[in-house]
């Protein structure tokens, strides 16, 4: 009965909003100003927040809810399959995640999703796409993207590994293999022709990198470190930012000094109790370089933490993460919230970071609602609730600054002045 009433209320509200004036008057809300909640009235005029009354407006009672900007996911791989995009979109909107940054995708699938208007409309998730990642021969993520068409998720046997090594089904779509500056120059026009929104490069334990040979069948390696500054120069000239997959502190140093704009991971997300934490600890001087170069870090700290994680691995991993994150915070290096979980959005990561105790609820809310969305769409006026910004927000039943679980208690969603009902997405 309760679900039926909620459905009818949402249907009525959506019908009224879509059938009447483009100006809405929101009353009885506690609005987040970036530091605290304050009582205010806002209008949405043609999808933009304003305090200026309209001649005709539809009154919307927020009933004492706590209003925050929508959340962002700075690291996802979920919107490059037309069949799955519908379910993914519903999940993201249900959880209040309106902004998504694709950090490698099958470019043809992503284009199909965009053409079908499953993303980037006033009633869907807004997404950017890196398309194919730049890596070395047989480098990550080839082992993932070539396994799936072959019928398995990751090569587990020698036979499967051999099949992946020799597969090229998604070459030029989900990944680009290169090793020399000449190969980069040759591939670059094709990379740009795929119209990426950003460039993703892969660095994997670069301290072990060596040129590939005809007999080298190792999988999951990364890019020649010498190519990173060449790639960032080309990307920046084309108006594109660069994000780097990093596994080790050495990878992070190469990425930072090579001119990338974002680190796609915090080193050590897969650290085990038997691993050496020194290999993933960011030196203080490197953190200062990251700050000086205005680099942002996608933490993705909870990516490998689930019910199968041993207590010893969890302890080692979290000790490393807290050490790096605490020093990054002290240096004021921006942290972005990203999931890197296939089929999931970033709310799991939000909760995981909150469990580490590094930030206050206010700091985390700003990361989720302001820092991350604005990093994904830096040219748009979003992530803040003030005049001139997009009329996109969530209404929570309680105050997330005093109870973090209220970030999940979403009672209403608005995007560019349009009422959003996640279950009704096409």
Under a CB-based contact definition with an 8 Å cutoff, are residues 226 and 159 in contact? no
Tokens, residue 127 = 């997404």
C-alpha triplet 199, 161, 196: angle, nearest 5°: 15
pLDDT at residue 9 in the model = 45
Write out the H or E segment, with its range, that includes residue 244. Answer: strand 242-245
pLDDT at residue 307 in the model = 82
pLDDT at residue 305 in the model = 87
Q: What letter does residue 217 receive in the DSSP assignment?
A: -
The torsion angles phi and psi of 49, rounded to 5 degrees, stand at -70, 140
Rounded (10°) angle between helices 181-193 and 228-237: 30
Model confidence, pTM: 0.94
Under a CB-based contact definition with an 8 Å cutoff, are residues 73 and 345 in contact? yes
Question: Could you give the CA distance from residue 312 to residue 32 in angstroms, rounded to a whole number?
Answer: 39
pLDDT at residue 424 in the model = 56
How far is C-alpha 110 from the chain's CA centre? 15
Question: Could you give the CA distance from residue 418 to residue 409 in angstroms, rounded to a whole number?
Answer: 20
Question: Could you give the CA distance from residue 272 to residue 267 in angstroms, rounded to a whole number?
Answer: 12
Task: Give the residue among 287, 285, 265, 269 at the shortest CA–CA distance from 277.
Answer: 269
Q: Bridge partners of 139? A: 221
Domains and CATH numbers, the chain: 2-69+386-424 (2.30.40.10), 71-376 (3.20.20.140)
Q: Kindly give the confidence (pLDDT) of every residue in the chain, 426 residues in length, as a single tens digit, with 9 standing for 90 and above.
A: 444 444 444 444 544 444 345 899 999 999 999 999 999 999 999 999 999 999 899 999 999 999 999 999 999 999 999 999 999 999 999 999 999 999 999 999 999 999 999 999 999 999 999 999 999 999 999 999 999 999 988 899 999 999 999 999 999 999 999 999 999 999 999 999 999 999 999 999 999 998 887 567 788 899 999 999 999 999 999 999 999 999 999 999 999 999 999 999 999 988 999 999 999 999 999 999 999 999 999 999 999 888 889 999 999 999 999 999 999 999 999 999 999 998 999 999 999 999 999 999 999 999 999 999 999 999 999 999 999 999 999 999 999 999 999 999 999 999 999 999 876 554
Task: Give the residue among 100, 96, 107, 194 at the shortest CA–CA distance from 394.
Answer: 96
Task: Give the residue among 150, 208, 200, 195 at the shortest CA–CA distance from 176.
Answer: 200
Under a CB-based contact definition with an 8 Å cutoff, are residues 376 and 342 in contact? no
pLDDT at residue 317 in the model = 95
Place of tokens 């302001």: 370
Under a CB-based contact definition with an 8 Å cutoff, are residues 395 and 66 in contact? yes
Torsion angle (degrees, nearest 10) of CA 343, 121, 83, 190: -90
Question: Could you give the CA distance from residue 359 to residue 353 in angstroms, rounded to a whole number?
Answer: 8
pLDDT at residue 322 in the model = 98
pLDDT at residue 6 in the model = 44
Place of tokens 């290096």: 333
pLDDT at residue 360 in the model = 98
pLDDT at residue 425 in the model = 52
């Amino acid at each position: 009965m309760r679900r039926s009433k909620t459905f009818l209320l949402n249907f009525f509200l959506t019908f009224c909003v879509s059938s009447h004036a483009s100006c809405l008057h929101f009353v009885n809300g506690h609005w987040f100003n970036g530091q605290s909640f304050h009582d205010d009235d806002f209008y949405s005029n043609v999808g933009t927040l304003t305090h200026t009354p309209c001649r005709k407006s539809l009154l919307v009672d927020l009933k004492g809810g706590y209003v925050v900007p929508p959340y962002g996911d700075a690291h996802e791989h979920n919107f490059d399959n037309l069949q799955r995009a519908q379910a993914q979109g519903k999940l993201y909107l249900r959880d209040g995640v309106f902004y998504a940054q694709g950090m490698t995708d099958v470019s043809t699938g992503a284009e199909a999703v965009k053409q079908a208007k499953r993303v980037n409309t006033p009633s869907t998730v807004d997404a950017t796409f890196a398309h194919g990642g730049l890596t070395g021969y047989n480098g990550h993520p080839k082992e993932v993207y070539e396994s799936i068409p072959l019928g398995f998720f990751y090569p587990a046997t020698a036979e499967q590994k051999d099949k992946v090594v020799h597969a090229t089904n998604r070459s030029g779509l989900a990944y680009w293999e290169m090793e020399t500056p000449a190969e980069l120059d040759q591939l670059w026009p094709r990379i740009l022709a795929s119209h990426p929104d950003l460039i993703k490069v892969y660095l994997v334990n670069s301290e072990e990198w060596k040129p590939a040979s005809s007999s080298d069948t190792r999988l999951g390696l990364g890019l020649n470190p010498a190519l990173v500054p060449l790639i960032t120069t080309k990307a920046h000239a084309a108006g594109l930012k660069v994000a780097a997959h990093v596994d080790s502190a050495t990878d992070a140093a190469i990425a930072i000094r090579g001119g990338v704009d974002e680190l796609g991971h915090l080193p050590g997300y897969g650290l085990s109790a038997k691993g050496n934490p020194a290999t993933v600890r960011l030196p203080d001087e490197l953190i200062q370089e990251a700050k000086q170069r205005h680099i942002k870090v996608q933490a993705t700290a909870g990516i490998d933490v689930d019910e199968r994680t041993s207590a010893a691995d969890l302890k080692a991993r979290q000790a490393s993460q807290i050490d790096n994150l605490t020093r990054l915070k002290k240096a004021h290096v921006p942290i972005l919230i990203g999931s890197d979980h296939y089929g999931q959005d970033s709310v799991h990561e939000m909760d995981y970071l909150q469990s580490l105790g590094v930030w206050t609820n206010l700091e985390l809310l700003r990361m989720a609602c302001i820092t991350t969305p604005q990093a994904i769409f830096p040219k748009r006026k979003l992530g803040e609730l003030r005049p001139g910004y997009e009329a996109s927000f969530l209404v929570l039943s309680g105050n997330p600054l005093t109870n973090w679980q209220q970030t999940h208690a979403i009672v209403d969603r608005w995007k560019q002045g349009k009422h959003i009902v996640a279950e009704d997405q096409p």
